[in-house]
Amino acid sequence: MKKYLTSEISFDVPDEWIQSSINIFPNLKVFGKDFSLVITRDKVEKDQALDAYVDEQNSKQLEMLPDFKIIKRKNIKVSDVTACGVHFQWKDNNGLKIQYQVYIPLPNNSYIILTGTTVEDFSSSHEEVFNTILSTLIFNKGKE
């Protein structure tokens, strides 16, 4: 058994269970606009390189999200780990969505993905808030 920890609780789960929980900070106001932050985890079958993983995810988004368009993609450093940041947009029934996703490789063939979402414009102020969050990110050694 291994320990599963959250900020509120901890409990034991079987070793073979794959941690795939989602953390959501919804309905935030950042500089007067709706903003959300979602943290997801993904386990890949084999050792998949960062660029290949992000390419695969972007291809899936292109298929699923109406009017999907990548605005900017670049590798960044998050706590001394090379990650990939992708700014993109797409439309739903409520209008234009702007997202910034950061894909961070973790040990054991897994990734953690942070997604910031707003409408119409991911401003420099939004990016500053997101980058501040990234700058405080600490990897817990030995955790999945």
Measured distance CA(142)–CA(76) in Å, rounded: 23
Q: Say if 36 falls within a structural domain.
A: yes
pLDDT for res 129: 84
* Number of independent structural domains in the chain: 1
Measured distance CA(92)–CA(67) in Å, rounded: 9
pLDDT for res 30: 67
Measured distance CA(99)–CA(89) in Å, rounded: 6
User: Which residue, among 41, 37, 58, has the nearest Cα to 116 in the 3D structure?
Assistant: 37
**CATH at 71:** 3.40.1000.10
Q: Say if 143 falls within a structural domain.
A: no
Measured distance CA(12)–CA(1) in Å, rounded: 6
Q: Say if 118 falls within a structural domain.
A: yes
Q: Say if 51 falls within a structural domain.
A: yes
User: Which residue, among 78, 81, 61, 77, has the nearest Cα to 69 in the 3D structure?
Assistant: 61
Q: Say if 66 falls within a structural domain.
A: yes
Measured distance CA(17)–CA(8) in Å, rounded: 20
pLDDT for res 22: 79
Q: Say if 5 falls within a structural domain.
A: no
Q: How far is CA 45 from the centre of its chain?
A: 19
Q: What residues in the chain have per-residue pLDDT under 50?
A: 143-144
Question: SS3 helix, strand, coil % of the chain, rounded to 5?
Answer: 20, 50, 30
Q: Say if 90 falls within a structural domain.
A: yes
pLDDT for res 51: 95
Q: Say if 125 falls within a structural domain.
A: yes
For 43, the domain range is 19-135
Dihedral sign computed on CA atoms, order 103, 36, 121, 134: negative
